Structure 1
Amino acid sequence: MDKTEILNNICYTKLVYDRINKKLKSNYSKTEIETLLFAILKETHEQDFQKIGKNFYVSNVRNNIKITINSNTYRIITVDRLIKTKK
């Protein structure tokens, strides 16, 4: 898995923007979503990139976000908030 390759090839479908806004309870524009996710992926340590099956899962605790990316097409599938565990 190569983080640079993901950053260079990341892409989106028309439907994913609405899905991301719904999951994040936000109303970002397409450009804002792309800018935000690129910045999060760029700052996330490569050790927090996991390949499971056909997807990459990128967890960024600082932004409380998990990004799911198709490992063949580099297409963003969805974004989820990380579940915070109580100590």
Structure 2
Amino acid sequence: MENYKYKVLDKITYTELVYGRINKKLNLNYSKEKIQELISKIVFETHESHFVKKGKNIYITNHEKNIVLTININTNRIITATTINI
């Protein structure tokens, strides 16, 4: 099984649109820097067993923070962050 955690931590990228998308989906009002800190913290704290590759995306599920991150594996670009529906 490939280790995606450190690849994501090392190479994650953001688009201008994703900052607004993350704020909207997570009901936040964070700056770009604060969003980057949040995403990095979630990726770092999530156990590797919660990194699932499906097609061209990696889904990172962090149950403690109740968040799922979606990252494109080819571009290492974060696509979105959503809350887990329980």
Q: Larger C-alpha radius of gyration, 1 or 2?
A: 1
Residue 5 of structure 1 and its aligned partner are, at CA, apart by: 1.0
CA offsets 1:23-81 (integer angstroms, 9 cap, x no match): 01110000000001100100100000000000000000000000000000110000000
1:38 matched to 2:40? The reply is yes
What is the CA–CA distance in structure 2 between the aligned matches of 1:5 and 1:60, rounded to whole Å? 17
Match of residue 55 from structure 1: 57
Identity of aligned residues (%): 51
1:15 aligns with 2:39: no
Residue type of the alignment partner of 1:12: Y
Aligned residue pairs: how many?
A: 84
* TM-score, L = length of structure 2: 0.95
Off by >3 Å, runs of 4+ in structure 1: none
Q: Which amino acid aligns with 1:37?
A: I
Question: Which 5+ residue runs of structure 2 have no aligned equivalent?
Answer: none
